[in-house]
């Protein structure tokens, strides 16, 4: 399923095996190991179920079963890849692993319909594969081709059917979770709002499944451990998506005016760095102050934390105009822009300084530094709630 938040690069343990329509298909070693384990189990089942089969026939049947499983997995992801390309997305890499597949798109879907169709195509392929295998099993039984063939096709059909039914649970990272995200994106106008809901569904589902695993382990320890592992995986995936989407939603709903420091005190260019550091304590050290010379027009901006890299003797003779950021080198934005819109064009770093302008008067009304934006990036707690709220420091009006 599409993964738009990760950089497009190959993970350790992956190897490219083919290229389909400009999409590189890579396989992780975990998938190969999982297929080998499944192959051994299937071969043992064939020899035990049909004792008349020889070693060669059982090996051939095992290879055929593994081929159908691999074809179902790869075919499902290729269908999603083609649908994504139909909506204008570039898919450079398709990664297959034991815990699923990831379509690494260069950008997120541009609109809710694209998200819904990409996710829905995977579910439709799985359901179609299950129906097709059931029909083939019925034909095999009807024409009495081979009892083992019909039973094997039925087993494969049931596997695809179970996968399709599980995909109906609207939680991350399943296809139905992506479809729920698309629906809420269409209704609320925000993709992150839908991701929060599907992530929380996965988080709560993982917790409930963990309780089921504990109960099952009382009767069957091995089965209970398997259920607990699946529950842990589901809860972790849900928690990761909830944390990312909650932070993203907060950036989308917070405007620059909400965190900007309104009209901070202008500092004279002759001020020494030592006096600035002694004056700007606590939250004031993270404020971007304008630096003036002769008149009220700023010639640059400085954040007191910039001076922490200087030694005590250097601070005593260094003036603020020597370490300030020139007014031509600072970024600017409108007060009505959201933080998400600003960060899309301005890279965030500890030296970030953004001057805020009023769109009606065009005048400077304040500044935003890294400290103010950092408060919005605080991850939520386990359940996706923010325990720490950002509070803008009250700018001082004098250096007394």
pLDDT of residue 331: 93
What is the pLDDT, as a whole number, of residue 98?
77
The winner for highest mean pLDDT among 86-90, 303-307, 308-312, 329-333 is 329-333
Strands 353-357 and 331-334: parallel
**Residue 254: φ, ψ to 5°:** -100, 125
pLDDT > 50? residue 259: yes
pLDDT tens for 17-65 read 888 888 888 888 888 888 888 888 887 877 776 666 667 777 777 888 8
Looking at 166-175, 190-199, 309-318, which range is the least confident one? 166-175
| Euclidean distance between CA atoms 176 and 153, whole angstroms | 26
pLDDT number for residue 11: 61
Give the CA distances from residue 255 to residues 207, 228, 267, 271, in Å, rounded to whole numbers and listed in that order.
Answer: 35, 42, 26, 32
From the candidate CATH numbers 1.10.10.10, 3.90.1170.50, 3.10.580.10, 3.40.50.150, the one assigned to the domain spanning 256-377: 3.10.580.10
Nearest to 292 by CA among 273, 274, 269, 276: 269
For the chain, where do the domains classified as CATH 3.10.580.10 start and end? 256-377
Question: What is the spatial distance between Cα 55 and Cα 67, in angstroms, rounded to a whole number?
Answer: 18
Is the model's pLDDT at 199 over the cut of 50?
Answer: yes
Percentage, residues of the chain above pLDDT 90: 19
- Mean pLDDT of all residues in 239-262: 90
Say which residue the tokens 């939520």 belong to: 380
Least confident of 137-141, 280-284, 394-398: 394-398
The span from the CA of 114 to the CA of 362, in Å, is 38
384 pLDDT higher than 70:
no
Mean pLDDT within 149-155: 79
Find the mean pLDDT for residues 247-256.
91
């Amino acid at each position: 399923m599409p993964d738009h938040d990760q950089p497009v690069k190959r993970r350790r343990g992956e190897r490219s095996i083919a290229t389909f329509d400009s999409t590189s298909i890579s396989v992780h070693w975990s998938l190969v190991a999982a297929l080998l384990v499944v192959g051994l189990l299937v071969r043992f089942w064939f020899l035990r179920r049909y004792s008349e089969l020889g070693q060669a026939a059982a090996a051939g049947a095992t290879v055929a079963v593994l081929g159908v499983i691999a074809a179902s997995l790869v075919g499902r992801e290729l269908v999603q890849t083609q649908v994504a390309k139909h909506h204008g997305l570039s898919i450079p890499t398709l990664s297959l692993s034991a815990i699923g597949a990831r379509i690494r798109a260069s950008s997120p879907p541009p609109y809710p319909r694209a998200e819904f169709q990409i996710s829905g195509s995977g579910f439709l392929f799985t359901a179609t594969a299950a129906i097709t295998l059931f029909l083939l099993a019925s034909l095999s039984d009807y024409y009495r081709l081979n009892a083992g063939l019909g039973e094997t096709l039925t087993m494969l059909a049931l596997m695809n059917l179970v996968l399709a039914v599980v995909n109906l649970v609207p939680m991350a990272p399943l296809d139905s979770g992506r479809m729920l995200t698309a629906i809420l994106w269409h209704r609320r106008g925000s993709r992150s709002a839908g991701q929060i809901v599907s992530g929380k569904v996965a988080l709560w589902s993982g917790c409930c499944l963990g309780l089921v695993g504990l109960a099952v382990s009382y009767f069957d320890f091995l089965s209970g451990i398997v259920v607990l592992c699946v529950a842990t995986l589901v809860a972790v995936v849900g928690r990761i998506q909830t944390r990312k989407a909650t932070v993203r939603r907060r950036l989308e709903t917070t405007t620059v005016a909400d965190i900007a420091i309104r009209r901070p005190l202008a500092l004279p260019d002759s001020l020494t760095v030592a006096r600035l550091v002694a004056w700007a304590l606590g939250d004031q050290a993270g404020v971007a102050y304008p630096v003036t010379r002769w008149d009220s027009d700023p010639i640059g901006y400085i954040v007191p934390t910039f001076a922490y890299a200087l030694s005590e003797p250097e601070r005593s003779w260094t003036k603020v105009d020597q370490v300030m950021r020139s007014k031509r080198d600072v970024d600017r934005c409108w007060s009505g822009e959201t933080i998400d819109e600003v960060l899309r064009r301005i890279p965030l770093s500890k030296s970030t300084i953004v001057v805020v302008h009023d769109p009606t008067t065009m005048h400077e009304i304040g500044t935003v530094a890294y400290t103010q934006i950092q408060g919005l990036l605080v991850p939520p707690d386990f359940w996706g709630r923010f325990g720490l709220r950002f509070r803008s420091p009250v700018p001082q009006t004098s250096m007394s």
